[in-house]
């Protein structure tokens, strides 16, 4: 039995959470892998009710669970996910971008993963004013750079793909910070002679994600660049609705959709839950690796193939041009598991 904390979030978050719970129930009933789901509050609603976007009780429950699922939250997102990343040392942000049938992808053969350093860079929030100027500190360390590079190479090693790592930076301009990141990735690459290694400036990478996205396998980059490029890569494969994400540390992991809370369609039962449900697949893979549990891998693969077959048949939710509600789409998945 795996205990999973589920932050239900804001906007479409509660609807996606109910979709996820239905899938967990189906896994429990049909596939023989058992999950105990604990619903938790964090985000705008929690801030209004308790004065904290991330209540202490939520944090304590997350720490006692085997993994955490987080639905989208609203304007207080930084006070939830950024805090959890640092608190739990979830240093690797993993965002796959994969072509799915009947989605507006640029090509049908895209299958890449962006491995983003999750703890440093400009996202540490170290900003201050000096007279009439504003200054932000960009912190890049050798320790964090080597750690994320190693994670990227291990990811490439495990994938059934072209086994390539692309280090993305801007060392021709930011010579000290990105220069350090580049050197760290180069040094780690020597430990993996079987993995092809290349470097690319971030502007060239942004262009090539449009021009030849099929040429990428694993991209490793810094926090800010990874945030931007992962949204771009998601759009290249048809939008954020099919884009899951993981925040992984050495002993804990949190899984979420890439997209936001989408308040404009909240409560209408039209949101595509696929990105959140594919995050369950990522969670199963992580639990399988961490606990040497082959059943987790089987369940994760079954869930992804069920979603793949469903969208291949042309079934879509209303928010992406289909006719199904969130509830109907989810029932199709649970029926087919």
Q: Say whether 324 sits in a helix, a strand or coil.
A: strand
Instruction: Considering only residues 193 and 316, tell me which one the structure prediction assigns the higher pLDDT.
Output: 193
Say yes or no: 162 and 198 in one domain.
yes
Kindly name the residue from 2, 100, 123, 192 that is annotated as catalytic.
123
Say yes or no: 307 and 337 in one domain.
yes
Kindly name the residue from 70, 98, 150, 170 that is annotated as catalytic.
170
Whether residue 242 lies inside any domain: the answer is no
For residue range 20-70, list pLDDT tens digits in order.
999 999 999 999 999 999 999 999 999 999 999 999 999 999 999 999 999
Whether residue 220 lies inside any domain: the answer is yes
DSSP assignment of 142-210: HHHHHHHHHHHHHHHHHSSS--EEEEEE-TTTSTTHHHHHHHHHHHHHTT-TTSEEEEEEHHHHHHHHH
The pLDDT assigned to 322 comes to: 84
227 carries an active-site annotation: yes
> Average pLDDT in the 280-287 region?
98
**Residue 212 DSSP symbol:** -
The pLDDT assigned to 206 comes to: 98
Mark which of 201, 236, 271 sits at the end of a domain: 236
203 carries an active-site annotation: yes
123 carries an active-site annotation: yes
> Average pLDDT in the 217-239 region?
95
pLDDT at residue 208 above 90? Answer: yes
Say yes or no: 277 and 232 in one domain.
no
Say yes or no: 191 and 231 in one domain.
yes
Instruction: Considering only residues 147 and 78, tell me which one the structure prediction assigns the higher pLDDT.
Output: 147
For residue range 242-270, list pLDDT tens digits in order.
899 999 999 999 999 999 999 999 999 99
201 carries an active-site annotation: no
Whether residue 241 lies inside any domain: the answer is no
| Domain ranges, residue 161 | 106-236
The pLDDT assigned to 61 comes to: 97
Output phi, psi for 28, to 5 deg.
-60, -40
Mark which of 208, 236, 264 sits at the end of a domain: 236
CATH of the domain at 279: 3.40.718.10
The pLDDT assigned to 66 comes to: 98
For residue range 99-110, list pLDDT tens digits in order.
998 888 899 999
Kindly name the residue from 203, 250, 312, 335 that is annotated as catalytic.
203
Say yes or no: 86 and 110 in one domain.
no
Reported as a pLDDT band with limits 50, 70 and 90, residue 78 is confident
- Structure tokens belonging to residue 233: 């890569």
Q: Report which secondary-structure segment, H or E, holds 305.
A: helix 294-312
Rounded Cα gap, residues 263 and 10, in angstroms:
8
Angle between helix 13-26 and helix 274-291 axes, rounded to 10 deg? 50
170 carries an active-site annotation: yes
The rounded mean pLDDT for the chain is: 95
Say yes or no: 144 and 75 in one domain.
no
Whether residue 243 lies inside any domain: the answer is no
pLDDT at residue 161 above 90? Answer: no
Could you tell me if 319 and 292 are in contact, meaning their C-beta atoms sit under 8 angstroms apart? no
What domain count does the chain have?
A: 2
Kindly name the residue from 66, 121, 227, 285 that is annotated as catalytic.
227
> Average pLDDT in the 87-92 region?
96
pLDDT at residue 231 above 90? Answer: yes
Kindly name the residue from 231, 290, 309, 331 that is annotated as catalytic.
231
Say yes or no: 116 and 189 in one domain.
yes
pLDDT at residue 167 above 80? Answer: yes
Say yes or no: 123 and 82 in one domain.
no
Q: Residue written as tokens 């009439």?
A: 132
pLDDT at residue 220 above 80? Answer: yes
């Amino acid at each position: 039995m795996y205990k999973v904390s589920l932050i239900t979030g804001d906007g479409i978050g509660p609807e996606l959470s109910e979709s996820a719970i239905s899938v967990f129930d189906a896994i429990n009933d049909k596939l023989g892998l058992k999950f105990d789901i604990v619903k938790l509050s964090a985000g705008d609603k929690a801030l209004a009710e308790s004065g904290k976007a991330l209540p202490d009780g939520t944090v304590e429950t997350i720490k006692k669970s085997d993994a955490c699922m987080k639905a989208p939250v609203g304007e207080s997102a930084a006070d939830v996910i950024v805090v959890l990343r640092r608190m739990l040392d979830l240093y690797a942000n993993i965002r796959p971008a994969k072509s799915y049938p009947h989605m507006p992808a640029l090509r049908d053969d895209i299958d890449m993963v962006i491995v983003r350093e999750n703890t440093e860079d400009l996202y540490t929030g170290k900003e201050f004013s000096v007279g009439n100027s504003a200054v932000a500190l960009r912190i890049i360390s050798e320790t964090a750079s080597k750690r994320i590079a190693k994670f990227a190479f291990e990811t490439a090693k495990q994938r059934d793909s072209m086994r390539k790592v692309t280090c993305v930076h801007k060392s021709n301009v930011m010579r000290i910070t990105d220069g350090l990141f580049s050197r760290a990735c180069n040094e780690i690459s020597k430990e993996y002679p079987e993995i092809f290694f290349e470097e690319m400036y971030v502007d060239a990478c942004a262009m090539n994600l449009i021009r030849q996205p099929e040429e990428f396998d694993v991209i490793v980059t810094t926090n800010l660049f990874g945030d931007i490029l992962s949204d771009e890569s998601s759009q290249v494969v048809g939008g954020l609705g099919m884009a899951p994400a993981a925040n992984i540390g050495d002993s804990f992991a949190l899984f979420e959709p890439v997209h936001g809370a989408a308040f404009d369609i909240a409560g209408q039962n039209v949101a595509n839950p696929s990105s959140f449900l594919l995050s369950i697949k990522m969670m199963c893979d992580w639990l399988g690796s961490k606990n040497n549990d082959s059943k987790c891998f089987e369940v994760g693969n079954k869930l992804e193939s069920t979603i793949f077959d469903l969208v291949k048949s042309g079934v879509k939710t209303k928010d992406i041009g289909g006719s199904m509600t969130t509830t109907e789409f989810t029932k199709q998945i649970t029926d087919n598991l």
